[in-house]
Structure 1
Amino acid sequence: MNSDRNWYVIINSHRARILQGLPKPHSPAGLEIVLQAPERHVRGIIAGKPGRAFAPTGNGRRPARQSHQSPQRADQCEFLRDVSDFLNSALRDQNFDRLVLFASPSILGVWREEVPDSLQAKVTREFAKNLVRLPYHSLADAIREALSS
Structure 2
Amino acid sequence: MKKPRLWYVIADGGRARFVERDDQGAFRTLSSFVSTELHKSAHELGRDRPARVKESASPARSAIEPRRDLHEAAKEDFIRTVAETLAAELKDQKFDELVLVAPPGVIAELKGSLSKPTAKVVVKELHKDLTKVPDHELTGHLAPKQ
Into which bin does the TM-score normalised by the smaller protein fall? 0.7 to 0.9
Question: CA separation of 1:16/1:110 partners in 2, compared to 1, >3 Å: closer, same or farther?
Answer: same
With over 3 angstroms needed to count, the CA separation of the structure-2 counterparts of 1:35 and 1:50, relative to structure 1, is closer
- Aligned AA for 1:36? V
The answer to which structure has the higher strand fraction is 2
Write out per-residue CA displacement over residues 103-128 of structure 1, whole angstroms, 9 at most, x where no aligned residue: 11221121122222221111110111
**Equivalent residue for 2:14?**
14
Q: Which residue of 1 aligns with 2:37?
A: 39
If each structure's helix is expressed as a fraction of its own residues, which one has the higher value? 1
The percentage of aligned residue pairs carrying the same residue is 25
Q: Secondary structure at the match of 2:44?
A: coil
Question: 1:68: Cα distance to partner?
Answer: 3.4
The answer to whether the 8 Å contact 1:77/1:114 transfers is no
Aligned-partner residue type, residue 106 of structure 1:
G
- Determine the C-alpha separation between the residues in 2 that align with 1:77 and 1:50: 14
- Equivalent residues in 2 for 1:89-104, closer than 5 Å: 89-104=88-103
Q: Which amino acid aligns with 2:102?
A: A
- Match in the other structure for 1:71: 70
Choose 1 or 2 for highest CA Rg. 2
Q: What TM-score does the superposition give when structure 2 sets the normalisation length?
A: 0.74
1:117 corresponds to:
116
Distance (Å, rounded) in 1 between the aligned partners of 2:107 and 2:45: 28
Gapped regions of structure 2 (runs ≥ 5)? 53-65
For 1:120 and 1:56, how far apart are their aligned partners in 2? Answer: 39
Alignment of 1:109-148 (within 5 A): 109-144=108-143, 147=145
Contact 1:12–1:132 (Cα < 8 Å) also in 2: yes
**Secondary structure of the corresponding residue to residue 30 of structure 1:** strand
Contact 1:102 1:130 in 2 (8 A): yes
Is 1:84–2:80 an aligned residue pair?
no
| 1:60-104 residue CA offsets vs partner (Å, 9 max, x unmatched) | xxxxxxx83322221121001111111111111111111011011
Normalised by the length of structure 1, the TM-score is: 0.73
Paired position in structure 2 for 1:62: none
Instruction: Give 5+ residue unaligned stretches, structure 1.
Output: 58-66
Cα RMSD for the two superposed structures: 3.1
Which of structure 1's runs of 4+ aligned residues deviate more than 3 A? 54-57
**C-alpha distance in 2 between matches for 1:38 and 1:30:** 23
